[in-house]
């Protein structure tokens, strides 16, 4: 189970200020905010990485951008359709490497952790605030998308979070975190 763990940069004097978000909710929060006017400003490598590691990451991203097929979306759609026709549920795509160009896609802790600025986080929270106004007016939460996560050792609260969709309560908590300043994020399983 993949969790996006967010942490303040720089670390507050009283310790880490962490926020955990299941991967599907992270994607949903991004899409919802964009649909309500958020224009992602982009991320940067976290300030605690060494220069060599950051240069290597930026070089890899530049190489991917230079070699990306101009019709990437169409190629991915064709590949998905072919896999659907062949009833393949799991497959290894040669195009997955281009996901790294999405700078809001979490990286593994061993890689280069990305950072959201305080200003971008505030803009993200503002857009989610507009979405919340509509959700409150309609008295709705957004349902879970995708397959459910079943794990017999999972704590019931985490199970509810993983499979509960975008609730108003979770969005409010996420907005509070976003407004707290710059933060880094990475996968934490």
- pLDDT tens digits along 13-58: 777 788 988 888 899 999 999 999 999 999 999 888 889 999 999 9
State residue 5's pLDDT score: 87
Number of separate domains in the chain: 2
Query: In this structure, are 110 and 63 located in the same domain?
Result: no
Please tell me the distance from the alpha carbon of residue 49 to that of residue 53, in angstroms, as a whole number.
7
pLDDT at 177: 96
Domain final residue, candidates 85, 102, 119: 102
| Whether residue 32 is found in the same domain as residue 63 | no
Domain shared by 131 and 180, yes or no: yes
Average pLDDT over residues 116-140: 92
Query: How far is 189 from 1, CA to CA, in rounded Å?
Result: 6
Pair (141, 189) in one structural domain: yes
- Predicted confidence at residue 80, as pLDDT, reads 85
Whether 182 and 139 share a structural domain = yes
Whether residues 91 and 22 share a domain: the answer is: no
Question: Which domain covers residue 154, as residue numbers?
Answer: 1-43+104-189
pTM for this model (two decimals) = 0.79
Residue 148, pLDDT score = 53
Could you say which of 82, 102, 122 is where a domain stops? 102
Same domain, 36 and 124: yes
Evaluated on CA atoms 145, 151, 154, 156, the torsion sign reads: positive
pLDDT grade, residue 93 (50/70/90)?
confident
Q: Are residues 23 and 53 in the same domain?
A: no
- Of 102, 117, 142, the domain-final residue: 102
Residue 55 CA to residue 38 CA, distance in Å, equals 29
161 and 112 both lie in a single domain = yes
């Amino acid at each position: 189970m993949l969790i996006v763990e967010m942490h303040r940069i720089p670390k507050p004097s009283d310790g880490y200020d962490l926020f955990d978000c299941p991967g599907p909710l992270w994607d949903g929060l991004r899409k919802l905010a964009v649909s309500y006017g958020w224009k992602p400003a982009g991320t940067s490598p976290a300030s605690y990485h060494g220069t060599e590691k950051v240069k290597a990451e930026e070089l890899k991203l530049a190489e991917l951008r230079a070699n990306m097929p101009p019709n990437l979306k169409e190629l991915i759609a064709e590949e998905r359709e072919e896999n659907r026709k062949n009833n393949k549920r799991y497959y290894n795509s040669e195009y997955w490497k281009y996901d790294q160009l999405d700078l809001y896609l979490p990286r593994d802790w061993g890689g280069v952790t990305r950072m959201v600025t305080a200003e971008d986080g505030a803009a993200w929270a503002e857009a989610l605030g507009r979405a919340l106004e509509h959700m409150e007016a309609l008295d709705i939460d957004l349902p879970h998308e995708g397959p459910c996560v079943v794990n017999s050792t999972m704590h019931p609260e985490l199970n509810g979070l993983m499979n509960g969709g975008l609730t108003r309560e979770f969005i409010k908590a996420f907005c509070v975190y976003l407004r707290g300043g710059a933060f880094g994020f990475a996968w934490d399983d």
